[in-house]
Amino acid sequence: MRKLALNDEILLKIEKPARYIGGEVNSVMKDPEKVDIRFAMCFPDVYEIGMSHLGIQILYDMFNRREDVWCERVYSPWIDLDKIMREMHIPLFALESQSPVKDFDFLGITIQYEMCYTNILQVLELSQIPLFSARRGEEDPIVIGGGPCAYNPEPLADFFDLFYIGEGETVYDQLLDAYKENKKNGGSRKNYLEKAAEIEGIYVPSFYDVTYKEDGTIASFSPNNSHAKEKIQKQVIMDVTHTYYPEAPVVPFIKVTQDRIVLEVQRGCIRGCRFCQAGMLYRPTRERDVRVLKQYAYQMLKNTGHEEISLGSLSSSDYSGLKELVTFLIEEFKGKGINISLPSLRIDAFSLDVMEKVQDVRKSSLTFAPEAGSQRMRNVINKGLTEDDIIYGAGQAFEGGWNKVKLYFMLGLPTETEEDMKAIAELSDKVARRYYEIPKENRNGKCQITASSSFFIPKPFTPFQWEPMFTNTEYIARAAIVKHAFQEQLNRKSLRYNWHDAEVTVLEGVFARGDRRISAALLKAYRLGCLYDSWSDYFDFDKWQEAFRSTGLSIEFYNLRARSLDEILPWDFIDSGVTKQFLIRELKRAKNAQVTQNCRRQCSGCGAAKWGGGVCFESKN
């Protein structure tokens, strides 16, 4: 019988002990004596967040299909258990076996957002694994990172043995097989890292040296080991229909952030929004066959007991089989109390027919993302939406019976003027006006428009990767302009406005485009007590500022300057498929407020066609 890592006395003291006991429906149990590789898969945040992540579920399913591998899960302990584990020297453990993570062959950490970086250090330290890769011995797990933030791994380079760049379905088997072979042959840790470095998509930070110019910019970035490649090529699975997918995902004991099954309908996005890192990284757009998705729906509902199906993608309404799939889901599951969730919809592509069918199951607020208030600004970011599109789409929603709409915007975009800021309030008011054009007897109660603005952060591999940011004071001043504009609108009683934390934005910007030197400030902040930085209750900007001051690093250097187009960027050694020439071309078009057509209307020559499939080749099939 499995012995829990935490005794009853500890479990009774902490919040939500079910986070730590494992044993959930569909979790995989194996005999540790009958596997060759033990892999701890970590999401560096609390259980409820990590359990909602599809990528982890896909890898968990994929690894455990191998008889020679046992993949288990581990999450960041919450603040209460963190304190107890440190006081009692309890090593961090995996949920399935309750075994210490330090006894595993691999610790794989998915890096989904920059504000989880201190949690990564927490996971390593509680696991009793040396924080720095250079200090790890032969008995320590290989620490591997992946996910969107791995596309600029440099702020974390000192803490990871290797990074997997791209989609996990491609070369993980090679990576695991190489480990088995190295172990069988009595090879060392370094021998394995050299074998790994020869596999496409694998980056071993210790095999590269960085030098800097007097002005702080990078002078050179080059391999120091003959096994390391000059360029790391991102990994892409082209046939997303027939790749791995978890038909029996783990069902948590407690309510998690997304308590539902997710059908990933496609990867990538045809739109080319210039601020969107995911839209550039996950090119080309690849669709899943609608027939396979229907089968997944049956199997996953049967195997989980969930009561909601969500369609997952960057832009669900661009999926060519959307109407067929939603119609099928409604007709099949409507009488069984299953809700259908449709995130990532575009107003201009929204189908009233689909919307009404979803409404029959359960009505809730609808979320749209105009991103900018003025047409000029939407052209700058290549959103491809006109004001008429937005008002018409909102009208469709209101006519269909909705009265609550959430609108997402960004502040601090390149070339933004005060008029662009005020236009956020003006557009929100126009959406509310459209509601009140409906005859009173046909309205569904009072209208509520909630507008939210985040602050723009330039991300690697986007056309805006060279652009400067602002100080947190300037961001707050911009939000104040928008807030004041909302108070002047005719329908202000139907409007609400809120904005993201400016201090978090500043820090996120540093990590998004930082280099290896940032690791010193990260470690210092962690030592000062920074943890769960993505949670507003625990984020402490003063400690972060102290960490940067004490390590001699400047937030301003990373955030407030424009990069020259010929500067060596920390992530330039990664080939994402999208060429730098394309990004520069798009930056120039942005400055001229020129729109670039979406991938289905016209190829923009971004470079993603080299993968030989997806939307780039649709018309040829």
Instruction: Indicate the Cα dihedral angle 620, 587, 266, 324, nearest 10°.
Output: -80
Burial of 477 from C-beta contacts in 10 A (0-12 / 13-18 / 19+) = middle
The sign of the dihedral angle between the CA atoms of 434, 435, 440, 442 is positive
What tokens appear for 493 in the block?
């009683």
pLDDT of residue 620: 56
Q: What letter would DSSP give residue 226?
A: T
The Cα–Cα gap between 249 and 51 comes to 10
CB atoms within 10 A of CB 90: 18
Q: At residue 563, what is the residue type?
A: R
Burial class (CB in 10 A: 0-12, 13-18, 19+), 546: middle
Q: How confident is the model at residue 506 (pLDDT cuts 50, 70, 90)?
A: very high
pLDDT at 362 over 50: no
Residue 618 pLDDT class (50, 70, 90 cuts): confident
Which residues are CB-neighbours of 383 under 8 A, at least 6 positions away? 271, 273, 370, 371, 372
Tell me what pLDDT residue 344 has: 59
HSE, side-chain direction, 13 A CA sphere, residue 20 = 26
Tokens at 476, concatenated: 């707050």
β-sheet with 366-371: strand ranges across: 366-371, 404-411, 448-455, 495-499
What's the rounded Cα separation, in Å, for the pair 570 and 273? 23
Which residues, in sequence order, are CB contacts of 1 under 8 Å at separation 6+? none
Q: Under a CB-based contact definition with an 8 Å cutoff, are residues 79 and 287 in contact?
A: no
Cα(28)–Cα(76) distance, rounded to whole angstroms? 20
Distance CA 432, CA 442 (A): 15
pLDDT of 301 strictly over 90: yes
- pLDDT tens, position by position, 533-545: 999 999 999 999 9
The pLDDT tens digits of the residues spanning 146-198 come to 999 999 999 999 999 999 999 999 999 999 999 999 999 999 999 999 999 99
Query: Of 508, 513, 498, whose CA–CA distance to 539 is shortest?
Result: 508
Mean pLDDT over residues 11-22, rounded? 97
| pLDDT of 351 | 57
Q: How confident is the model at residue 341 (pLDDT cuts 50, 70, 90)?
A: confident
Distance of CA 321 to the CA centre of its chain: 24
Q: Concatenated DSSP letters for 110-167?
A: E---GGGHHHHHHHHHHTT--SSGGG--TTSPEEEEESGGGGS-GGGGGG-SEEE-B-
Strand-pair partners of 341:
310
Token digits of residue 393: 């789409």
10 has a pLDDT exceeding 70: yes
Residue located via tokens 């449709």: 342
Q: Tokens for 469? A: 């940011």
> Would you call 490 helix, strand, or coil by DSSP?
coil
- Answer yes or no: are the C-beta atoms of 275 and 607 closer than 8 Å: no
- Strand 366-371 and strand 339-341: pairing? unpaired
Planar angle of CA 545, 547, 551, nearest 5 degrees: 120
Q: Is the pLDDT of residue 361 over 50?
A: no
Q: What is the pLDDT of residues 248-285, one digit of tens each?
A: 999 999 999 888 999 999 999 999 999 999 999 999 99
Reduce the DSSP state of residue 279 to 3 states and report it: helix
Helix %, strand %, coil % for the chain, to 5? Answer: 40, 15, 45
Confidence of residue 357 (pLDDT cuts 50, 70, 90): low
* 477-498: pLDDT as tens digits: 999 999 999 999 989 999 999 9
In one letter, which amino acid is 347? I
Listed by start position, the domains of the chain span 8-229, 260-362+577-621
Distance, CA of 142 to CA of 137 (rounded, Å): 10
The H or E element spanning position 262 is: strand 261-264
In 327-465, DSSP assigns E strands to 339-341, 366-371, 404-411, 448-455
Sequence-ordered alpha helix ranges (H) in 488-517: 502-513
What is the per-residue pLDDT across 81-109, written as a single tens digit (0 to 9) for each?
A: 999 999 999 999 999 999 999 999 999 99
First to last CA, the chain: 55
| φ, ψ at 569 (rounded to 5°) | -95, 150
SS3 per residue for 544-589: HHHHHHHCCCCHHHHHCCCCCCCCECCCCCEECCCCHHHHHHHHHH
Pairing of strands 404-411, 37-43: unpaired
Q: Tell me the pairing of strands 208-212 and 218-223.
A: antiparallel
Contact 396, 434 (CB under 8 A): no
Task: Say if residues 49 and 116 touch (Cβ distance below 8 Å).
Answer: no
pLDDT at 338: 87
Give the CATH fold of the 260-362+577-621 domain: Transcription Regulator spoIIAA (3.30.750)
